[in-house]
Amino acid sequence: MWQLIGRRALAAIPNVIGIVVVTFVLTRALPGDPAAFYAGPAATQEAVEQIRTKLGLDQPLWRQFIDYLGDLARGDLGLSLSTGQQVLDEILRRLPASLELTLLALLVACVIALPLGILAATRPGSWVDHACRLITTLGVSLPIFFTGLLLAYVFYYLLGVAPPPVGRLDSMFSPPPQWTGFYLIDSLIAGDLALFRAAAAQMVLPVATLAIFVLAPIARMTRAAMLGVLSSDFVRTARASGLSSGTVLYKYAFRNAMLPVVTTMGMVFSFMLGSNVVIEKVFAWPGIGSFAVDALMQSDYAPVQGFVLVMALLFVAINLMIDILYTVIDPRVTIDA
């Protein structure tokens, strides 16, 4: 196990280095001047030049990159010009909001998609199979921003059964004492059920929007993997041996179909972290995605670079977890494989 973790971590180092280099170059190539934004619209050219010198933007690109690497080595992601705070502090403060939304949406999607894919595979050509195909087609066809706006329009504006899309909490509530950064968990730790209900209500529409979008590939992959396993020889042998249909379906078929499903779930989770930007903008969710977009619009380099770096590290961690799950699900999967 430790060999697996070490090999995957070493293999990810070149990828992270490449992401750092590409992100640094691309942010400098974007139009806009951070010094001009920081100085304000009424600043003179001399004031803008002074700020550019203070920020080190007058240095050659290679010198700026070396300084950036030195800051990274010290764990310093830089200062956000738009908020005046350290980028690392901003990311750590906003990351739980994005992770809570993503993890809950993935959980809801799996609860729906896995049984739906299994039922569709065990009843090919039935109404369940056709419903699975329809749901997966709609899920991947509708743009995620359109789904979010449609849900907000119907359930908040027309029906009035959903709270206003104003972020993680209504203005009448204060955030719970921070333990994990997840409002649902922290409110339960604090024993505040009213706050838990308020936080859960705010999450219904954004979670539903993300879940609708990601359950499609999970359900489709589950159906395809189960169809392949159910037609295999060992499943027919298990049925001929007199084992119950539930034992054959879940103990033998589903476990062997889990590898491609887990791979799909890892890819979907990685994509969700990036697509959260749209959801956070639609529902005013204070996550790292909206923070990075606002910084990008203001030519604020440091938050964009920090966001991409954190996403890259999360992707590496997710891939490592998938590799570990492979060995748990199927012991025949070795480290070298």
> What is the structure's pLDDT at 204?
92
For domain 92-158+201-329, the CATH architecture is: Orthogonal Bundle (1.10)
Mean pLDDT, rounded, for 212-236:
85
| pTM of the model as a whole | 0.82
Candidates 210, 226, 211; CA nearest to 111 is 211
Res. 41 pLDDT band, cuts 50 70 90: low
- Judged against a pLDDT cut of 60, whether residue 305 lies above it is answered with yes
- Per-residue pLDDT band for 207 (boundaries 50, 70, 90) equals very high
Residue 249: is its pLDDT beyond 60?
Answer: yes
Write down the domain spans for the chain. Answer: 2-73, 92-158+201-329
Q: Decide if pLDDT at 314 tops 60.
A: yes
pLDDT value at residue 108: 92
Give the model's pLDDT for residue 259. 82
Using alpha carbons only, how large is the chain's radius of gyration in Å? 24
Taking only the tens place, the pLDDT of each residue in 160-191 is 888 888 888 887 888 888 888 898 999 999 88
Lowest pLDDT segment from 25-39, 132-146, 201-215, 316-330: 25-39
In this predicted structure, the answer to whether residue 258 has a pLDDT above a threshold of 80 is yes
Residues 6+ away with beta carbon under 8 Å from 15: 312, 316
The pLDDT of 264-268, averaged and rounded, is: 83
Report the candidate in 235, 267, 253, 3 with the shortest Cα–Cα distance to residue 117: 253
pLDDT at 322: 79
> What is the rounded average pLDDT for all residues in the chain?
82
Mean of pLDDT values over 71-88? 81
Higher pLDDT, 337 or 218: 218
* Section 129-154 average pLDDT: 83
Task: Give 331's pLDDT tier (boundaries 50, 70, 90).
Answer: low
Looking at residue 196, its pLDDT comes to 92
Answer yes or no: is pLDDT of 334 > 60.
Answer: no
The pLDDT value recorded for residue 82 is 76
The stretch 239-244 carries a mean pLDDT of 80
pLDDT band at 330 (very low <50, low <70, confident <90, very high): low
Whether residue 158 has pLDDT greater than 70: yes
Residues 46-73 pLDDT 10s: 777 777 777 777 778 788 888 888 888 8
